[in-house]
Amino acid sequence: MSLTRRDFARSTAVTGAGVVLAGSVGALATAPQALAATDLDGAEDAHGHPGIGYGPLVPDPDGVLALPAGFSYRVVTYSGRTRLESGESTPSNHDGTAAFAGPRGAVLLVNNHELKGPRADWEHPVPLTEGLVYDPAAAGGCTVVEVRRDRVAEWVGVAGTSTNCAGGSTPWGTWLTCEETEDRTGQNGMTKDHGYVFEVDPADRRANRAPKPLKALGRYAHEAVVVDPKRGHLFLTEDASGPNGLFYRWTPPEGFHHGRGRLRTLADDAGVLQAFRCFDSGGRFVDDLSRATRTGTVYGVDWVDVPDRDARTAAVRKQFSDGQVTRARKLEGMWWGDGGVYVVSSYAREESPVQHDGQVWFYDPRRRTLTLKVLLGTGGTFDGPDNITVSPYGGLVIAEDGEGAQHLFGATDSGRTYPIARNELNIGSDSVPEYSEFTGVTFSPDGHTLFANIQQPGIMLAITGPWKRQRRS
């Protein structure tokens, strides 16, 4: 049943201004130097309570990762240095990642490699392992990394895909990897159409043979995907512009039951793919998420059918005219938690109605509402949120893909922020330093280890230390 603008306006009229503020975690720092000292050094706050976070970041003598005192990191994979079981190099450009419980205490991670275009363009593409290749012309794909106390092993999960950006884990223990491209056969040297989602099973190598695109989920510049474990919906983000991208929901066909490999059995047009349409408490249509300028803003959400999910004649986002759907720039990472979907919009610039340096929204599927939880104003301490995960210690952990220094940072339930790590690996020059974005932030199943990637050159890191539950306020 759709949630009409009249229904939403009626519900907000009953509960008043409290609805606008419901679920707010407050604003993150929105101006230079706006972080309080307690956010940076963990000192006591004005009430004598311990501060949030883990203290200031300590420079790394090895020039890789600055961490708080008491924390340490381990290099798990390093493109060009570590090797797959086959003897080939670990591929480069690490991106979205998820961790799964493996056999005998191991942790299995599926790691995307965001490599766009032909293989010749890349020094370390994903190897074309026999039986695991979709398009032999494409450079991207996923590797599976098995981490044990005394050793690390890595092998190919899927190859011959393109621009594998983020994705998402499933409740049944697999990884959905997303192609952030719309290249068709013949474009950029490709021999097959791209812009699809593929399923990778970290625990069963045979299940990954003969990769099949999940065409029911649409063909567009996919970023991330999450599964509603209760209702069976899949939610998907699109990282695109001209026009800005969309937030999608896929509803499975009646009688369908999720499980390992089940998505591969679906027809290309199975289920219903829809794009979202938002409206405010007054029933007014919202054309772009950048319109929200304060945390706590709540929009009602309805869903509009996608006319041609395979984009045979026009990109999916271009099949809607103005006023039909809501758009947003740089819709990026997502994570399921707290009964809903956390969704990132990394930034908005001149292409959007209002500029910002990052938003994190929360979609509540039961209420069919979207609430702005985090807003980064331009010129703040952190900018460009990208991959995201829900922390077992409360709040969120966010990977930064912004300007200048790149961080992993935490956000408490009340919206206060604190640094967790800083990338110190300069891939530029002494005169013009450059630091790659963080990606693939995810905790181990036991919550003891935070895994994260430095995208270029492609390094997976395991961070351990005195994790603690963060105060809500």
Counting residues of the chain whose pLDDT is more than 90, the rounded percentage is 78
| Stretch 214-222: mean pLDDT | 98
Counting residues of the chain whose pLDDT is more than 70, the rounded percentage is 88
CB 39 within 8 A of CB 51: yes
* pLDDT score of 50: 58
418 versus 12: which is more confidently predicted? 418
- Inform me whether the pLDDT recorded for 472 exceeds 50: yes
Q: Phi, psi (5° rounding) for residue 203? A: -100, -10
| Predicted model pTM | 0.90
Confidence of residue 30 (pLDDT cuts 50, 70, 90): very low
CB 449 within 8 A of CB 456: no
Per-residue model confidence as pLDDT tens digits over 441-454? 999 999 999 999 99
* pLDDT score of 31: 26
241 versus 175: which is more confidently predicted? 175
| Stretch 229-245: mean pLDDT | 95
- Inform me whether the pLDDT recorded for 106 exceeds 80: yes
356 versus 110: which is more confidently predicted? 110
Q: H/E/C letters for each residue in the chain?
A: CCCCHHHHHHHHHHHCHHHHHCCCCCCCCCCCCCCCHHHHHCCCCCCCCCCCCCCCEECCCCCCEEEECCCEEEEEEECCCCECCCCCECCCCEEEEEEEECHHHCEEEEEEECCCCEHHHCCCCCCCCCCCECCCCECEEEEEEEECCCCEEEEEEEEEECCEEEEEECCCCCEEEEEECCCCCCHHHCCCCCCCEEEECCCCHHHHCCCCCCHHHCCCEEEEEEECCCCCCEEEEECCCCCCECEEEEECCCCCCCCCCCHHHCCCCCCEEEEEEEECCCCCEECEHHHCCCCCCEEEEEEEECCCCCCCCCCHHHHCCCCCCCEECCEEEEEEECCEEEEEECCECCCCCCCECCEEEEEECCCCEEEEEEECCCCCCCCCEEEEEECCCCCEEEEECCCCCCEEEEECCCCCEEEEEEECCECCCCCCCCECCEEEEEECCCCCCEEEEECCCCEEEEEECCCCCCCCC
* pLDDT score of 23: 27
* pLDDT score of 387: 95
| Stretch 396-409: mean pLDDT | 92
Cα–Cα separations (whole angstroms), residue 132 to 58, 96, 260: 42, 19, 17
* pLDDT score of 402: 83
Mean predicted lDDT score pLDDT of the chain: 89
With left for phi above 0 and alpha for psi between -120 and 50, is residue 218 left, alpha or beta? left
- Inform me whether the pLDDT recorded for 353 exceeds 60: yes
Question: Nearest CA to 67 among 473, 444, 440, 438?
Answer: 438
- Inform me whether the pLDDT recorded for 267 exceeds 70: yes
Per-residue model confidence as pLDDT tens digits over 49-62? 457 899 999 999 99
* pLDDT score of 5: 41
| Stretch 330-343: mean pLDDT | 95
- Inform me whether the pLDDT recorded for 39 exceeds 50: no
| Stretch 147-167: mean pLDDT | 96
Per-residue model confidence as pLDDT tens digits over 203-212? 999 999 999 9
Cα–Cα separations (whole angstroms), residue 246 to 7, 289, 387: 23, 10, 17
Cis peptide before 243 (omega within 30 of 0): yes
Confidence of residue 403 (pLDDT cuts 50, 70, 90): confident
| Stretch 128-137: mean pLDDT | 98
Which tokens in the block code for residue 442?
A: 């995810």
